[in-house]
């Protein structure tokens, strides 16, 4: 089995030390960092997402895989930066104000990194203005999480703050978390909804596609 397959399998099985060793070996063998990322890490996280959706793995296994992926990503990151590796886009993510729950958010954050996104993880209990700042710093998508019925209404405040700052048009907003539904997402004017960590990646990709297409349409008018 080649290095790429070994790297893929180590991440899927959640063997962090082995994933790091395979990523290092791949670089030593002259495999481009971008290839190791695309065909090793990203492919692995796609496999993990599929296994999760099929009910073959659950949250603990997914966390173990995601941590193995991020460990290997640290090995590749300097080369990816050096070689001008392409990013899928930049996502600012955080749990809304008043809510300290972050396991789901962390898992989404890692899944996004494993899909080639630059992730600006703002943490938990995040004030609306910090999301606004993150957009000014280049985030194209904002991903909001909440576990509680009492705090999920804060998502609407974040969207309001983004609108007030005049940034709503240039950013996609995806929401998720236990009490959040598609209806709620629609009601507060979010662009996307994700029911779990696996579908969050798809939701971000879809929303980002729409934002970029809209940007393209707007561009000639500028």
The residue count for the chain: 222
The residue among 116 and 154 lying less far from other proteins, judged by its C-beta, is 154
Q: Which two tokens stand for residue 16?
A: 């962090």
Question: Least CB distance from residue 206 to other proteins, whole Å?
Answer: 19
Task: Provide the strand spans (E) within 110-185.
Answer: 117-121, 141-145, 172-176
Burial 141-167 (b: 16+ CB within 10 A, else e): bbbbbbbbeebbebbbebbebbeebeb
The residue among 81 and 187 lying less far from other proteins, judged by its C-beta, is 187
Q: Which of 2, 78, 179, 209 binds other proteins (CB under 8 A)?
A: 179
Q: Which stretch binds other proteins (CB under 8 A): 26-34, 40-48, 97-105, 164-172?
A: 97-105
Q: Which of 151, 159, 162, 173 binds other proteins (CB under 8 A)?
A: 151
The residue among 178 and 214 lying less far from other proteins, judged by its C-beta, is 178
Q: Which two tokens stand for residue 139?
A: 């985030």
- Between CA 91 and CA 140 the distance in angstroms is 6
Q: Which stretch binds other proteins (CB under 8 A): 82-90, 137-145, 158-166, 173-181?
A: 173-181
Question: Least CB distance from residue 102 to other proteins, whole Å?
Answer: 9
Q: Which residues pair with 96 in a beta bridge?
A: 126
By CB under 8 A, residue 61 contacts other proteins: yes
- Between CA 97 and CA 159 the distance in angstroms is 13
* Cα 93 to chain centroid, rounded: 8
Burial 89-109 (b: 16+ CB within 10 A, else e): bbbbbbbbbebebbebbbbbb
**Which 8-27 positions form the footprint of other proteins (CB under 8 A)?**
14
Which 3 state secondary structure label does DSSP give 215? helix
What residue has token string 């395979």?
22
Question: Least CB distance from residue 107 to other proteins, whole Å?
Answer: 9
Residues 37, 85: contact at Cβ < 8 Å?
A: yes
The residue among 49 and 154 lying less far from other proteins, judged by its C-beta, is 154
By CB under 8 A, residue 98 contacts other proteins: yes
By CB under 8 A, residue 67 contacts other proteins: yes
The residue among 137 and 149 lying less far from other proteins, judged by its C-beta, is 149
Q: Which of 27, 148, 161, 165 binds other proteins (CB under 8 A)?
A: 148
Q: Which residues bind other proteins (CB under 8 A)?
A: 14, 55, 57-61, 63-64, 67, 97-101, 103, 106, 125, 148-151, 154, 178-179, 181, 195-196
């Amino acid at each position: 089995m080649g290095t790429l397959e070994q790297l893929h399998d180590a991440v899927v099985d959640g063997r962090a030390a082995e994933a790091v060793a395979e990523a290092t070996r791949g670089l030593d063998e002259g495999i481009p960092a971008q290839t190791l990322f695309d065909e090793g890490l990203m492919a692995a996280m796609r496999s993990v997402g599929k296994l999760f959706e099929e009910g073959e793995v659950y949250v603990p296994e997914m966390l173990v895989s995601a941590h193995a992926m991020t460990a290997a990503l640290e090995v590749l990151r300097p080369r990816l930066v050096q070689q001008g590796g392409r990013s899928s886009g930049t996502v600012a993510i955080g749990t809304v104000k008043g809510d300290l729950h972050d396991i789901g958010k962390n898992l989404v954050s890692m899944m996004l990194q494993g899909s080639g996104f630059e992730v600006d993880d703002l943490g938990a209990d995040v004030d609306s203005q910090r999301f606004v700042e993150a957009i000014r710093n280049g985030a194209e998508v904002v991903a909001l999480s909440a576990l509680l019925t009492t705090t999920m209404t804060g998502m609407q405040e974040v969207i309001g703050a983004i609108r007030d700052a005049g940034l709503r048009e240039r950013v996609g907003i995806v929401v998720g978390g236990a009490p959040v539904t598609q209806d709620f997402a629609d009601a507060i004017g979010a662009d996307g909804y994700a029911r779990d960590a696996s579908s969050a990646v798809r939701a971000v990709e879809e929303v980002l596609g729409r934002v970029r297409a809209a940007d393209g349409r707007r561009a000639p008018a500028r």
